[in-house]
Structure 1
Amino acid sequence: MKRRNFIQKTALTGGAISMGGALTYAKNSNSTLLAPHKFNLKYAPHMGMFENLAGKDPIDQLNFMADQGFTAFEDNGMMGRDVALQTKMGETLAKRGMTMGVFVVQKGGNMANTLAAGKQEYIDIFLDGCKKAVETAKRCNAKWMTVVPGGFERNLPIGIQNANVIEALRKGAEILEPHGLVMVLEPLSDSPDLYLRNSEQTYLICKGVNSPSCKILYDIYHMQKNEGNLIHNMELTWNEIAYIQLGDNPGRNEPTTGEINYKNVFKWIHEKGYTGVLGMEHGNSKEGKAGEQAVIDAYKQEDAFM
């Protein structure tokens, strides 16, 4: 499942806040009578993941996540949501003590306007996205935002491409740094034409940018596909990792549905003292309410590493 599919799916759930006589999760569920589960780590569901159990209203979904014990939330498509909804979601997250995770900085898509080309028009689009992201972050209490530099510029040597990307990201960091915001660079497995493909390369770029506002988003699903040896490679790049995303392989669904030993990975991350967000950027392996409950149960199971 590619990022644009997540954005398209979750955008459908966030067009407006339910009004009038619509039944809401918060008013009609008795699950709040039960104490929320206590997770060891900050797992962050996304909009639409529990819509059969919680309803389609975005605020009801956030409240449902909190009632299940999730202490974070991420939303790739937050920048595309109505300003009033962004604000309402931020207020709800604050009220429920939830940390806002990443949203994606708009620059035209993962492959578009590649920073590796060094073209000013592409850089301007990226920097405009960073400026708008600052305003979005203020409304929803966000700190991290995902940046994908684009595709390779195959007619240029890799060293020149690296330099172009570093220079553009430095300019983006200059916009974000005064606000305490962090762009997290995500190496992806969706296409061999994407410029960022592994953690080693992303580490090099972050060291080149040399800013607290430019770090690594280590997506375990993508990195299992592209490089494997997950714990070893996270250890090598740990001091530049600011955000982690999840998904089992194959299938990109919840932990326990693929080959990754998530209980061991979660235990290692916890022992590293990581207090950041782990974004649940994956699908549900089964449909309907049963499938949504299966996701919750899988995280309870894999989080029981103590």
Structure 2
Amino acid sequence: MRVLITGANGMVGQALERSLTAEGHQVNCLVRRPRLQRVAPPPQSQDYAWDPDRGTIDPDALEGLDGVIHLAGANIAQGRWTSRRKQQLRSSRVEATTFLVKALRNASTRPDFFLTASAIGIYGDQSDREIVETHPAADDFLGTLGQDWEKASAVMEQDGVRVVALRLGMVLSSHGGALATMLPAFRWGLGAILGSGSQYVSWVSLEDVVGCVRFLLEQPRLRGPINVTAPDPVTFKTFAHTLGGVLHRPVWMRIPSLGVRFLFGEMGQAVLLSSCRVLPQRLLDHGFVFHHASLPAALNACVNEREQRS
């Protein structure tokens, strides 16, 4: 199988590249910048350049594809959401997807599937309600951004391509993402509960994200939105104390909601304080088995992996 991956420099993209090439699949990686620090890339993987901002893409990357895994997108939780930052978030998702879809539709062949990253932020702040894929999108910045992102990908359906939107929760890994950012403070006993701590965190291990994608590649009838989260969402207070317990460190600090909003503005409210209790209903209905279904197991695996590398 020949698969195109965008966002191949990212944590999820790299993990999928390793998984697919390990089984002998050919992976075409679309990258904005050369990956100079790559160590002995597998022969089944090749980098191709693209720059959606400038409207350029190597056409050789698009030929003979069985499928596309589209993960490119600027970090939603990096810095305050100024007007300029919001435009960057939108451009890297909606406009980049529109450009990629147009290029794929102009290629000589069409892929069988198009899996696109999305996010559970599309649902907005839902307090303690359990949310499944049929829940409507929120009428706020993240909700609108998520809808437009998924709509840009859905255009591929006009050519008979199976389109799946991966609504990702907080991806746990010691390699990067939110957990890697949090670990140093928690290791020093300086981990903090944000706001009241009652907001729900819908998380998923990196290993299960890869497993989910591999599962979806083998499920030709599954299309549309898929919640990629573990079946055990927890409050932030529980998350913080569980992480502290895994590290054998107390969690005694609290940053009030006002402080989070002061430091991070709208992003802090939408990403750090909002509550979204998401369930992976469609994955469970179709028999997907999570490797890390509970938070303690997932965090222990991440911490142990980090310690083995250091």
Give the TM-score category using the shorter length. 0.3 to 0.5
Q: Which structure carries more strand by proportion?
A: 2
Q: Which structure carries more helix by proportion?
A: 1
TM-score (norm 1): 0.34
TM-score (norm 2): 0.33
